[in-house]
Structure 1
Amino acid sequence: MSRVPEIRREILVDAAPAVAFDVFTAGVGRWWPLARHGVYGESAASVGFEDGVLVERSTAGEESVWGTVTRWEPPGLVAFSWHPGRPAAGAGLVSVSFTGTDDGRTLVTLRHSGWESYADPAAARAEYDQGWPGVLGRFGDEVARAGGETWALLLHRAADEAAGSVFADPRFAEHVAFLDRRRAAGQLVAAGPLGDAAGEGMTVLRLPGADRLADIVRLATEDDASVRDGLFTVTVRPWRVTLTG
């Protein structure tokens, strides 16, 4: 009999790895679709990681252990045996990794293996292969709700050594490319020159997740080659937004 391959599913979420890890583990009960993918169906009350095990509880007080944690390495990896509604002896293995991206998001990769104990391994794999995308979609929605946002103002000023108009300087194209990358990542709110100050401009960035100011500073100083190459200096100011239109 040929070996049934593992399932590998990925989702890119707009949050730092620490936020994504926390939502997947501590917050699993907020997003897991228990009625559809649980042991107790409509009678399910909760699911969560408790003392190294993943446990579902019913409204009648019943308990069902889904698996046992085998690796717990926040914020990068969690792995656990997997046997909802089945004996632990027939458990598979689920591992979930959280990898930060250059634009401040997180690539979440789920791997599910260990089909040999099923009567029909290929059928079991096919069922989970259809189920995991919807489950991970719920997880992604919860990350978006839980992450919050970090806003910042980037004040760009022409460096002392910048001669003439910054718009005519070949390095200005690097600044435009930086803004294009932030827009493509969904992080750019607005950008443009300040009308009352020559050689000055402002950019507003918004990143998903709380406490992301350090990521914004890194983007402003390292990803913008016009800053690295000396056309602009940049000052990053956190912006506590209380009202939007």
Structure 2
Amino acid sequence: MSTVPPLRREVLVRAAPAVAFDVFTGGIGRWWPLADHGVYHDRAATVAFEDGLLVERSVTGEESVWGTVSRWDPPDAVAFSWHPGRPADAAGLVEVSFAAVDDGTLVTLRHSGWEPYADPAAARAEYDHGWPVVLGRFGDEVARTGDAATWALLMHRPARDAGVEGRIFDDPRFREHVAFLGRMRAAGHLVAAGPLGDADGEGVTVLRLPGADRHADIVRLATEDDLSVADGLFTVAVRPWRVTLTG
């Protein structure tokens, strides 16, 4: 059993848990200080959660996997193995929770699993200096995000070559659309969704992502995360929506 205790750090951000979770995960490439806390340093391009992995990319297209997601529970928690610049079998564990409090969200990061390091105590001491810097950048990004949001209308229509027999809502692929809506709701992105009039298979989904200029992220969600679109049941037109008044 390790004698080096887990490292725990907290930061209070003035935003809802759904916003904090989205900035930490979906927006990690906007705020992570890659030049000083990455693998490629001045050659770093971005870092992102992709297909269950946390991946850094360089400007020349190199990839370094930092870890593998073991828990994804928006907007409450995310956890992943942690081995930037190290082999996967030498990974630690990072767990991040997002708890609603009166002033916003208390974000708690817990870093454990120091045994693979040659000097576990020294590794912990190094991260003891590093994590406050990283979480400070995260807090700054949440503050910049503030109440800004990107809204979009997703206009779904049956694909001409969908090969549907009978009602489109009875097609097995429609369950993938329902699952997509469930994920968007769990992440705090879904505003509304439903069929459009009496037209079979036509519908509208309204999404709201925290932060400005997130249209590309919404397009990716609508075309890749919704498997009913990726599998050819629906086509989707993503229309930016400039919201000027809400109830």
TM-score by length of 2: 0.59
Instruction: Render the CA deviation track for 1:85-143: whole Å, top value 9, x for unaligned.
Output: 0000000000000000134x000000000000000000000000100001000000000
Match of 2:97 in 1: 97
User: What RMSD in Å do the two structures reach over aligned CA positions?
Assistant: 2.1
1:149 shift after superposition: 6.6
Helix, strand or coil for the counterpart of 1:139? helix
Task: Summarize the alignment of residues 12-91 of structure 1 with structure 2, pairs less than 5 Å apart.
Answer: 12-91=12-91
Match of 1:139 in 2: 138
Residue 114 (str. 1) matches residue 128 (str. 2): no
Change (3 A) 1:102 1:121: same
Letter in 2 for 1:119: A
Q: Counterparts of 2:59 and 2:2 in 1: how far apart (Å)? A: 42
Structure 2 residue identity aligned to 1:56: E
Counterpart of 2:17, as a letter, is P
Larger radius of gyration: 1
Moved over 2 A (4+): none
Q: Counterpart amino acid of 1:45?
A: A
Alpha-carbon distance in 1 for matches of 2:91, 2:122: 16
**Percent identity (aligned):** 75
Tell me what 1:168 maps to. none
Q: Which runs of 5+ in 1 are unaligned?
A: 151-208, 211-238, 241-245
Q: Distance in 1 between matches of 2:81 and 2:2?
A: 22
CA distance in 2, matches of 1:149, 1:45: 25
Deviations 1:21-67 (A, max 9, x none): 00000000000000000000100001000000000000111000000
1:3 CA drift (Å):
1.3
For 2:134 and 2:145, how far apart are their aligned partners in 1? 17
How many residues are paired up? 154
